[in-house]
Amino acid sequence: MEGKNSKKKVYTAPKGMHDILPDEQVWWDRFYNKAKDVSDFYGFKKIDTPLLEDADIFIRGTGLGTDIVEKEMYTLKTKGGDFLALRPEGTPSVIRSYIENGMFNWPQPVKLFYYGPMFRYDKPQAGRYRQLFQFGLEMIGEENAAADAEIIQAVWLILNELGIKNIHIELNSIGCPDCRPAYKKFLKTFYRTKASKLCSDCKRRLKINPLRILDCKNESCIALRENLPPLFDKLCEECRGHFEHLLEYLDEMQIPYNLNPNLVRGLDYYTKTVFEVWSNDDAGSLALGGGGRYDGLVGILGGPKKPAVGFAFGVDRIVYQLKLRNKKTETYHKNKVYLVQLGESAKKQIFGLLEEFRKNNISVESSLGRDSLRSQLKNADHSRVKYCLILGQREVIDGTVILRDMESGLQETIPIDKIILELKERLKKEN
């Protein structure tokens, strides 16, 4: 038996994870609906993959020396001995599905989009969570730079149509397996006499993947690369041609970009094009997502050699931007109607009325467990509905219903068989 002074444990969401409450859903819906509309138009088809995958697809695909694999993956071992990981990103899962389901036999390119939670054991901060949401686009089976441009154009349109302005693209090419090894060798030589001044992470990166030193945010590491020649000056002919074509396409589409020779992204599977999308406002700069070309990943994970390019939005950050740019609180219940009932006979009739509203695509709310007129009107006011329908004993007998305008407080009695048509007309004018 609990003592008088014992305290009940208060449970909270795990650190770095959070609830998305009903009143916030409007922002998430707005993003997803717009992203899906643009993706549908460009011919991308939705794919859902499991939250849990064989950890090896991320170790092999993302890279053993990456922060995601070394520091951020949530892993577990099943009773049967399988080593699994909560997916930290979407691309390896999509490629695993592409191979497993024989999509390489489909007409190419295969264009897919995904949406869902990812998991990374990272330091929580504004717009970055340990359970984060991503929306990604993947185009597999096309090597032409036009595919890179199409992905970037779709990303650009999604953000613009969401009303997120002041965005720009950071762009680079990190070459291919033919030209990149020579630059990695050059980097090791360049940093040989400077290694003692590198941060601890970059000292390790110098041995595993020196390219990632270029992406380090440590001030001392930034200063060391001041006179470093950019990688795109040392690209092979094929990579240089690919990059030049991409820039021509972006110029034609009038999409602004910034050539960033230090952009390499944190994943080992990237080849040629890498890019990030940033938003600039009074609160500062914020990365909204990133992507690039990964021509070797299908082969790395056991499939045939297929080129590919993709991008992923950090949806939590997009939602943060939408809230920041829309100071007025939107209501998730816009244009809904609240049904108020008084008495058992009215309550019984409400059930049939609810179904009529559903058939006519009119969104409604009700609180059938409450009997007080005052408490139901209070709920309706809290829900910010435009209209209330009040049905009592007299209205049931008369075949009528009271229509109350919640803003003006005006009420009028309308035949119940005319109420659907009446509300349709009024809601149409509201829109």
Query: Are 283 and 423 in the same domain?
Result: no
| Residue at 96 is within a domain | yes
Q: What is the pLDDT of residue 280?
A: 83
| Residue at 151 is within a domain | yes
Query: Are 72 and 173 in the same domain?
Result: yes
Q: What is the Cα–Cα distance from 57 to 83, expressed in whole angstroms?
A: 11
Query: Are 297 and 341 in the same domain?
Result: no
Q: What is the pLDDT of residue 232?
A: 81
- The proportion of the chain whose per-residue pLDDT surpasses 70, expressed as a percent, equals 93
Query: Are 37 and 112 in the same domain?
Result: yes
Query: Are 263 and 359 in the same domain?
Result: no
Q: What is the pLDDT of residue 62?
A: 74
* Three-state SS at 91: helix
Query: Are 346 and 303 in the same domain?
Result: no
Q: What is the pLDDT of residue 241?
A: 97
Q: pLDDT: is 358 or 209 the higher one?
A: 358
* Interval 365-404: pLDDT, tens: 888 888 788 888 888 888 888 899 999 999 999 999 999 9
Q: What is the pLDDT of residue 5?
A: 62
Residue 134 bridge partners (DSSP): 116, 314
Which range of residues forms the domain containing residue 392?
A: 337-430
Cα-trace Rg, the chain? 28
User: Which DSSP state fits 77?
Assistant: E
Q: Which two tokens stand for residue 293?
A: 């070309």
* Three-state SS at 388: strand
Query: Are 252 and 281 in the same domain?
Result: yes
Q: Which long-range contacts (CB under 8 A, 24 or more apart) does 301-306 make?
A: 301/57, 301/60, 301/61, 301/92, 301/95, 301/96, 301/99, 302/99, 303/95, 303/98, 303/99, 303/104, 304/104, 306/104, 306/108, 306/140, 306/141
Q: What is the pLDDT of residue 127?
A: 67
Least confident among 122-126, 163-167, 261-265 = 122-126
Q: Per the structure, how many domains does the chain have?
A: 2
Query: Of 325, 348, 370, at which residue does a domain stop?
Result: 325
CA 85-88-92 angle, 5° bins: 85
H helices of 229-371, in order, are 237-253, 297-300, 315-325, 344-359
Query: Are 316 and 348 in the same domain?
Result: no
Query: Of 301, 325, 349, at which residue does a domain stop?
Result: 325
Rounded mean pLDDT, 247-274: 91
Q: What is the pLDDT of residue 373?
A: 87
Q: What is the pLDDT of residue 20?
A: 95
| Residue at 102 is within a domain | yes
Q: Which two tokens stand for residue 368?
A: 């059938």
CATH number at residue 63: 3.30.930.10
| Residue at 88 is within a domain | yes
Q: What is the Cα–Cα distance from 182 to 176, expressed in whole angstroms?
A: 11
Sign of CA dihedral 423, 426, 428, 431: negative
DSSP E strands in 87-214: the ranges are: 110-119, 131-140, 167-173
Rounded mean pLDDT, 220-247: 91
Q: What is the Cα–Cα distance from 296 to 355, expressed in whole angstroms?
A: 54
Query: Are 342 and 320 in the same domain?
Result: no
> Rounded to the nearest 10 degrees, what angle do helices 25-41 and 145-161 cross at?
140
* Interval 9-66: pLDDT, tens: 999 999 999 999 988 999 999 999 999 999 999 999 999 999 999 999 999 877 666 6
DSSP assignment of 113-143 equals EEEEEEE-----BTTB-SEEEEEEEEEES--
| Residue at 343 is within a domain | yes
| Residue at 204 is within a domain | no
* Interval 290-318: pLDDT, tens: 999 999 999 999 999 999 999 999 999 99
Q: What is the pLDDT of residue 329?
A: 46
Query: Are 156 and 276 in the same domain?
Result: yes
| Residue at 244 is within a domain | yes
| Residue at 401 is within a domain | yes
* Three-state SS at 162: coil
Specify burial of residue 45 (Cβ count, 10 A radius: 0-12, 13-18, 19+).
Answer: exposed
* Interval 307-357: pLDDT, tens: 999 999 999 999 988 888 775 544 444 557 999 999 899 988 988 888 898
Q: What is the Cα–Cα distance from 189 to 191, expressed in whole angstroms?
A: 6
* Interval 90-105: pLDDT, tens: 999 999 999 999 999 9
Query: Of 325, 355, 370, at which residue does a domain stop?
Result: 325
Query: Are 103 and 166 in the same domain?
Result: yes
CATH number at residue 397: 3.40.50.800
Query: Are 287 and 398 in the same domain?
Result: no
